[in-house]
């Protein structure tokens, strides 16, 4: 009894739970499976069922959504386990084989949560927004470029709308679109489906054609050199922040940001040299998810006349004080868009209302039924893109 009780307690501490027992048996192969793989599967409740052949293993677990589900071995050495229902949209997950956390060999792989690993897609009623359809197709370019600020070759992705190659004299607006913490420049094209969301919106006449630039923004991994490397310094003085809806005190520091340096020194100049771009603030947008949204706030406030369109997806809010403390921000800005999932802390509607109160065009958006994950951000891009450059 003591041992069993201790064991149960140890399991709870590690968040190890039994497979979901209430699954409806209508599982279908997950859409991000490798070609020819039946598993993992997803059912109509959003439960995930994984399988792995590991005849000599002592324990195999399905690790998803902060829990590890015990999988059970059959007579052929194949382990099967089922998770509780998950939110609609995309989730990172992994398998745990005798203490080793490894990708599921059944899926293709995604970078996020700090590693390349498995991902699963729980179908949603609106997954149509990112499907590949028979509409005019843009292209997602993989592009390297020289960075003066880091004295290295950097790597980004550039979405070019379908008409770009057909209009050799037309110039286009640009959205600089950033990933979150522990993610990289692969996310928006892969699990974010940026190209498909924009191709579909542009084909439907809901968005104007624009370019999207997706770069790597994890500042602690960006090593600035020479004149670009700032001296260590205290954070600049900020207006006193009253407690208010939309205020997130933890996001207020605006100190040196290596990504800001690279964006302004290297990325924007490279894009405006290599592509046909309308190179002014009225045709330049910045947005990001989570950490990328916080960077968007800091960079646009620090450079208030550089970007006319601003998007924060699950990335905090821009306050009246931010705008009033940044000379030229209000006159330059055409849109502040702030969004989050309904399962996050949804202060975005109040923050947008406050900005509208000082005459800004501010839009709040809440993604119903989703948390701090990719489906929130796909939907945010879908909404934001329709408001850009109009």
Phi/psi region, residue 290 (left: phi>0; alpha: psi -120 to 50; beta: rest), is left
Element holding 273 (H helix, E strand): helix 268-274
In the complex, minimum distance from the CB of residue 28 to its own copies, in angstroms, rounded to a whole number: 19
Nearer to its own copies, 211 or 318 (CB): 211
Number of CB atoms found within 10 A of residue 125's CB: 8
In the complex, minimum distance from the CB of residue 371 to its own copies, in angstroms, rounded to a whole number: 25
* Helix/strand/coil for 30: coil
> 348 near 320, Cβ under 8 Å?
no
| Phi–psi pair at 183, nearest 5 degrees | -120, 180
Answer whether the bond into residue 40 is a cis peptide, omega within 30°. yes
Nearer to its own copies, 71 or 354 (CB): 71
Nearer to its own copies, 164 or 329 (CB): 164
Listed in sequence order, the residues at least 6 apart from 42 whose beta carbon sits closer than 8 Å to its beta carbon are 27, 28, 30, 48, 49, 120, 121, 122, 123
Number of CB atoms found within 10 A of residue 83's CB: 26
* Residue (of 213, 215, 308, 219) closest to 261 by Cα position: 219
Cα–Cα distance for residue pair 164/339, rounded to 1 Å: 29
Which residues of the shown chain bind its own copies in the complex (CB under 8 A)? 34-35, 52-60, 77, 95, 97-103, 105, 108-109, 115-117, 132-134, 137, 139-146, 153, 158, 160, 165, 168-169, 184, 189, 195, 221, 274-276
Per-residue CA distances from 166 to 9, 169, 171, 213 (Å): 64, 9, 12, 20
In the complex, minimum distance from the CB of residue 363 to its own copies, in angstroms, rounded to a whole number: 30
In the complex, minimum distance from the CB of residue 152 to its own copies, in angstroms, rounded to a whole number: 9
In the complex, minimum distance from the CB of residue 68 to its own copies, in angstroms, rounded to a whole number: 13
In the complex, minimum distance from the CB of residue 193 to its own copies, in angstroms, rounded to a whole number: 11
In the complex, minimum distance from the CB of residue 91 to its own copies, in angstroms, rounded to a whole number: 18
């Amino acid at each position: 009894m003591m041992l069993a009780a201790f064991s149960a307690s140890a399991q709870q501490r590690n968040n190890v739970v039994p497979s979901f027992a209430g699954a409806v048996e209508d599982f279908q192969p997950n859409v991000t499976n490798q070609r020819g793989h039946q598993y993992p599967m997803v059912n109509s409740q959003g439960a995930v069922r994984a399988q792995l052949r590991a005849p000599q293993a002592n324990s195999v677990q399905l690790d998803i959504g902060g829990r590890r589900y015990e999988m059970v071995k059959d007579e052929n050495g194949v382990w099967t386990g089922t998770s509780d229902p998950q939110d609609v949209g995309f989730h990172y997950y992994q398998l745990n084989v005798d203490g080793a956390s490894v990708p599921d060999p059944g899926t293709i792989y995604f970078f996020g949560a700090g590693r390349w690993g498995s991902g699963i897609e729980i179908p949603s009623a609106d997954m149509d927004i990112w499907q590949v359809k028979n509409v005019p197709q843009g292209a997602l370019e993989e592009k390297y470029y020289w960075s003066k600020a880091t004295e290295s070759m950097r790597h980004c992705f550039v979405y070019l709308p379908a008409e770009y190659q057909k209009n050799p004299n037309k110039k286009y607006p640009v959205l600089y679109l950033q990933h979150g913490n522990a993610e990289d420049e692969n996310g928006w094209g892969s699990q974010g489906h940026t190209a498909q969301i924009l191709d579909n919106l542009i084909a439907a006449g809901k968005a104007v054609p624009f370019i999207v630039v997706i770069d790597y923004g994890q500042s602690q991994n960006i090593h600035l050199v020479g004149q670009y490397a700032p001296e260590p310094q205290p954070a600049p003085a900020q207006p006193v922040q009253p407690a208010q809806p939309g205020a997130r005190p933890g996001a207020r520091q605006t100190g040196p940001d290596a990504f800001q340096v690279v964006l302004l020194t290297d990325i924007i100049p490279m894009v405006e040299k290599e592509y046909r771009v309308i190179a002014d603030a009225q045709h330049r947008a910045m947005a990001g998810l989570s950490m990328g949204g916080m960077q968007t706030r800091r960079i646009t406030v620090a450079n208030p006349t550089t970007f006319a369109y601003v998007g924060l997806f699950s990335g905090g809010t821009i306050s009246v004080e931010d705008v009033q403390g940044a000379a030229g921000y209000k006159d330059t800005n055409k849109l502040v868009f702030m969004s989050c999932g309904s399962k996050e802390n949804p202060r975005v509607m109040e923050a947008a209302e406050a900005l509208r109160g000082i005459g800004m065009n501010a839009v709040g958006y809440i993604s119903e039924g989703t948390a701090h994950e990719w489906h929130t951000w796909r939907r945010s891009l879908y909404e934001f893109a329709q408001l850009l450059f109009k």
